Structure 1
Amino acid sequence: MPKPLIGISTYLEPAAWGVWQMPAALLPAGYPRLVRAAGGLAAMLPPDDDPAAAAEVVARVDGLIIAGGADVEPVCYGATASSLTGPPARARDAWELALIEAALASGTPLLGICRGLQLLNVALGGTLVQHLDGHTGGRGVFGEHTVEPVPGTLYASLVPEAASVPTYHHQCVDRLGAGLVASAYAADGTVEAAELPGPGWALGVQWHPEAGQDLRVARGLVRAAAARGGRPTPAP
């Protein structure tokens, strides 16, 4: 039987290759590498102009990753943009929010990474801190800090001890969305993971597992996707 298929959201950016310069659906290579290393097959999901297509897309995959990237536009959670918030990516916000809603409605295992956690929170009515310091290694460089799991959570079942993680974010969860519980914290109190308890599998992490060596969160997603799709379960 085939391995579970994990869809990963992508985003449009200007790109150049050979003689061409045009918009391209972009995804850092670390994401598909992470999925493959965790025992799954990776499928890039390009943005669609019609958010209504999200349910059909999600129905074709066994699991879903919402990738990191641009700031979520504050209007999505009823706030005014601060001077430190990045430019809006409205089409991406709409598409990825639709993917999240489709995954939650269908019970498709969902992992949000960085922006993906923030969007999961916003999709459920939560809000974001628009700027915080000390969670990057500098412009374009991942930092590193320790996150502490909350006992009894899904995240703690995957990573039961404090772990050092690669991090690059200046926004984070403020008020948790409906039903979400925090499942890991940084030393400064930043919510570093949040999840939806219940029969499904929905977890967001604020850091970047695709930039590190720890596969445990990704393996948890792939195992959940395999179980839902009737696929072979990858080894722990």
Structure 2
Amino acid sequence: MPPLPLIGVSTYLEATAHWGVWNLPAALLPAGYHRLVQRAGGLAAMLPPDTAPGSAAAVVSRLDGLVISGGPDVEPIRYGASVDPRTGPPARERDAWELALIEAALSSGVPLLGICRGMQLLNVALGGTLVQHLDGHAGAPGVFDWHEVKPVPGTLLGTVLPEPVSVPTFHHQAVDRLADDLIPGAYASEDGTVEAVEMPSAEGFVLGVQWHPEAGDDLRVMRALVAAAGRG
């Protein structure tokens, strides 16, 4: 039996987290991510930020696939914009780490999936920009909303999800100017927001989705990543 593909997932970096009797800095990841990787047939590895030179390339070289997870807003300076008052505080160490991971994955052909922030950061990494605030794509604080997205026929995502599907969402930022190397893979049915991007010129699997597959039961997107990782 061939070994299961090793899928790295980038983590949050929090100044304080609470468990048991402890309140300490922590690199953490919502359990939905590693469970989704496991249910899709992969092995999950958490990738906390590492500032050492060359660390991103070294980590990616050991992986079969990479997931850039959701999280805080990308700092607007990364795409040449002034800060909107509704944009959250910067996560500079995480921005730098995940941009380096994306660059390493694209350079080496390691299959890449960006989820929510991860999709937005993929667009920024390739020269695109972001809408810093839009309404209607999140529920109450800490609660995922659901809305329908329409995959674009003929795209990678359109092959993975051939029909409109209701997805769990929680975001207030989105793609504004799409990077030249990316194409839309899906749109929100209600308002036309870009809900997925992909890189047709890439040798391997490069996909970003605006929603949170780890918060639902649909395994198809993650299974597609794991399958690509297995082929690699």
| Separation of aligned partners in 2, 1:179 and 1:172 | 17
Matches within 5 A, 1:1-236: 1-13=2-14, 14-50=16-52, 52-187=54-189, 188-198=191-201, 199-228=203-232
> Structure 2: 5+ residue runs without aligned partners?
none
| Separation of aligned partners in 1, 2:28 and 2:163 | 34
The amino acid across from 1:216 in the alignment is: R
1:2 Cα deviation from its structure 2 partner: 1.4
1:15 Cα deviation from its structure 2 partner: 1.2
| Separation of aligned partners in 2, 1:178 and 1:32 | 31
| Separation of aligned partners in 2, 1:15 and 1:132 | 29
Pairwise CA RMSD: 0.9
1:21 Cα deviation from its structure 2 partner: 1.9
| Separation of aligned partners in 1, 2:71 and 2:173 | 11
- Identity in percent: 71
User: Could you list the per-position Cα deviations for residues 207-232 of structure 1 after superposition, in whole angstroms to 9, with x for gaps in the alignment?
Assistant: 0000001000000000000000xxxx
Cα gap change, 1:174 to 1:158, in 2 (>3 Å): same
TM-score, normalisation: structure 1: 0.95
| Separation of aligned partners in 1, 2:53 and 2:66 | 16
| Separation of aligned partners in 1, 2:124 and 2:44 | 25
Runs of 4+ in 1 over 6 A off after TM superposition: none
| Separation of aligned partners in 1, 2:19 and 2:224 | 36
| Separation of aligned partners in 1, 2:24 and 2:212 | 28
| Separation of aligned partners in 1, 2:139 and 2:54 | 38
Moved more, 111-120 or 49-58: 49-58
Moved more, 97-106 or 18-27: 18-27
| Separation of aligned partners in 2, 1:39 and 1:143 | 27
| Separation of aligned partners in 1, 2:198 and 2:217 | 22
| Separation of aligned partners in 1, 2:134 and 2:109 | 33
The amino acid across from 1:220 in the alignment is: A
| Separation of aligned partners in 1, 2:19 and 2:158 | 43
| Separation of aligned partners in 2, 1:52 and 1:125 | 22
The amino acid across from 1:139 in the alignment is: P
The amino acid across from 2:79 in the alignment is: Y
| Separation of aligned partners in 2, 1:60 and 1:11 | 21
TM-score, normalisation: structure 2: 0.96
